[in-house]
C-alpha cells in the first residue's frame, strides 16, 4: 500500500477507546465559542452541521441549549455515529441527528446556517476540494468555521512525531505536506476572504492551529 493511501482506523479507535479527555474538553470549549459567535452576530441559527464530529461533544453541549436549532453531525466512523445516536436518544435530543460522510465528498445537497469542521481537514488529502464542498453546504448569509493544517503545524507535528510513534501514521498527510492550506489558498479557493475565528470570539490567534470563518453572501 502506498504511503499516501494509509488511513487512520477511526472505527477501531472509537471501538477500543473512549474519547480522550482533551478531545472532550476541546469540544466543550468550541461549543462556548460558537455560542459567543452566534450571540455577537445576533444570528438566528435554524440549522448547524458539524463535519467530522467524532464524539460530537460540541453538538451535545449546544443541542439542549438551542432546542429550536436542528443539529446534524457527520463522521466517517460508523462506530462513533451509532454511539452518538444512542446517546442522543438517551438524552431525548430530537433536534440532534447523525449521518455518515467522508470528506472531501459530502452526501447532502442541504444548506446550513452554520457549518463547522474542526480537527478534521488534517486527515483529508484533497483539502481544497473539501473546503469547497463545505462552503457549498453553507446557506446564503451563513458561516463556515474550520481549522486547518498549515506550515507551522507541519513543523510542530514533525517535532511531536519524534516523541510519539503514533503521530506519523495518524498525521502522515500533514507531515508530507499534501494537504496544507493558508489564508491565501482559502481565499483563492472560495472566492471569499477568511477571517480569524479565534479573534472573532475573543481568543488569541494561534499560528499553529489557525481557525477561520468564511461568510457567504446573501
Q: If pLDDT is split at 50, 70 and 90, which confidence band does 1 have? A: very low
**Total number of domains constituting the chain:** 1
Domain CATH for 120:
3.40.50.150
pLDDT of residue 5: 38
DSSP state string for 34-77: HHHHHHHHT---SEEEEET-TT-HHHHHHTTT-TTSEEEEEES-
pLDDT of residue 89: 98
Percent of the chain at pLDDT above 70? Answer: 97
pLDDT of residue 21: 87
| 24-46 per-position pLDDT tens digit | 999 999 999 999 999 999 999 99
| 74-88 per-position pLDDT tens digit | 999 999 999 999 999
Residue 11 domain boundaries:
3-215
pLDDT of residue 9: 86
pLDDT of residue 125: 95
Query: Mean pLDDT, the chain, as a whole number?
Result: 94
Listed range (5-9, 55-59, 60-64) with the worst mean pLDDT: 5-9
Q: If pLDDT is split at 50, 70 and 90, which confidence band does 154 have? A: very high
Question: For 203, left (φ over 0), alpha (ψ -120 to 50), or beta?
Answer: beta
Q: If pLDDT is split at 50, 70 and 90, which confidence band does 130 have? A: very high
Q: Is the pLDDT of residue 164 over 60?
A: yes
Do the Cβ atoms of 73 and 84 come closer than 8 Å? Answer: yes
The CA-based angle 120-138-7, given to 5 degrees, is 20
As a whole number, mean pLDDT of residues 50-75 equals 97
Q: If pLDDT is split at 50, 70 and 90, which confidence band does 7 have? A: low
Amino acid at each position: 500500500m502506498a504511503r499516501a493511501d494509509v488511513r487512520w482506523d477511526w472505527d477501531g479507535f472509537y471501538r477500543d477507546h473512549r474519547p480522550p479527555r482533551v478531545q472532550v474538553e476541546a469540544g466543550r470549549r468550541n461549543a462556548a465559542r460558537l455560542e459567543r459567535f452566534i450571540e455577537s452576530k445576533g444570528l438566528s441559527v435554524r440549522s448547524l452541521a458539524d463535519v467530522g464530529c467524532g464524539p460530537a461533544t460540541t453538538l451535545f453541549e449546544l443541542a439542549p441549549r438551542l432546542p429550536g436549532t436542528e443539529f446534524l453531525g457527520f463522521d466517517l466512523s460508523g462506530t462513533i455515529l451509532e454511539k452518538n445516536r444512542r446517546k442522543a436518544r438517551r438524552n431525548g435530543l430530537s433536534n440532534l441527528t447523525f449521518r455518515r460522510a467522508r470528506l472531501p465528498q459530502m452526501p447532502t445537497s442541504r444548506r446550513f446556517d452554520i457549518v463547522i469542521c474542526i480537527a478534521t481537514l488534517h486527515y483529508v488529502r484533497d483539502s481544497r476540494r473539501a473546503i469547497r464542498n463545505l462552503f457549498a453546504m453553507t446557506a446564503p448569509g451563513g458561516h463556515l468555521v474550520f481549522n486547518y493544517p498549515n506550515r507551522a503545524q507541519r513543523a510542530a507535528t514533525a517535532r511531536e512525531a519524534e516523541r510519539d510513534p503514533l503521530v506519523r501514521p495518524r498525521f502522515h498527510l500533514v507531515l508530507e505536506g499534501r494537504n496544507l492550506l493558508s489564508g491565501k489558498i482559502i481565499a483563492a479557493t472560495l472566492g471569499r476572504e477568511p477571517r480569524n475565528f479565534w479573534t472573532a470570539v475573543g481568543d488569541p490567534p494561534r499560528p499553529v492551529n489557525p481557525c477561520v470563518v468564511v461568510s457567504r453572501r446573501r
